[in-house]
Chain A
């Protein structure tokens, strides 16, 4: 029995591979293109340790990096590492709340943003609000 189950398990494993839309692996840092590495510079040292699905999501995000203005790119750089250090639940909460904020009246949205820049976000060396 044991002799036959091992090849069965192996073939099931490869079947599952074919079936799942996400591959079980994401590129390592050495496998990234130069534009990708440029966008992900702040997390160069951490990249290989990040979970697969997080890396795949980030690679979709960095496709937009070249379209950002230089100022936006600097903000992106400041926020990237803290973003990867949040838990998946925290990131999902951030996405949810971001969308909910867009649904509030415009005047409230600008008030919140103004208050943020006057208080907690007021460190000029810290545009990302991170370290």
Chain B
């Protein structure tokens, strides 16, 4: 280990102690957030259960699939303007970065100023 590494490791040891001594309220909150996140995984895997349910009721599945496909096709064809990259190029190379434009305060201000 180099001298830099040794210095860094001593510094990290101090950081570790700060993490050990973290206040109880924060630790509790972190644990709650973690349990929430892990629980959200179950809703992801439940999607597969719905699929096997559909496989068992095959006539309903076929009709449902037909309905979804036909109405989806109609929806896509019927009114979505084709994507134009010109605006995006201007956003990505202009004076303000895109995330500045996305800000909600800015949106509200622009709406208030609109003559319509």
Give A residues with C-beta under 8 Å from B.
1-2, 5, 8-9, 12, 15-16, 19-21, 57, 60-61, 63-64, 68, 72, 75-76, 79-80, 82-83, 86, 90-91, 93-101, 104, 112-113, 116-117, 120-121, 128-130
- Chain B: residues with Cβ within 8 Å of the partner, total of 36
Tell me whether B98 is interfacial, beta carbon within 8 Å. Answer: yes
Interface of A is mostly: helix
Q: Contacts of A128 on B, CB cut-off 8 Å?
A: 97
B102 lies within 8 A of A9 (CB): no
A-B contacts counted at CB < 8 A amount to 114
Q: Contacts of B95 on A, CB cut-off 8 Å?
A: 113, 116-117
B73 lies within 8 A of A98 (CB): no
* A20 in complex: contacting residue of B73, B100, B114, CB < 8 Å: B73
Q: Contacts of B59 on A, CB cut-off 8 Å?
A: 1, 5
B92 lies within 8 A of A94 (CB): no
Tell me whether B12 is interfacial, beta carbon within 8 Å. Answer: no
Q: Contacts of A21 on B, CB cut-off 8 Å?
A: 76-77
CA distance A127 to B19 in the complex (A): 36
- Beyond A93-B102, A101-B101: 9 further Cβ-contacts under 8 Å? A2-B58, A9-B62, A9-B65, A79-B92, A79-B93, A94-B102, A97-B110, A98-B87, A112-B96
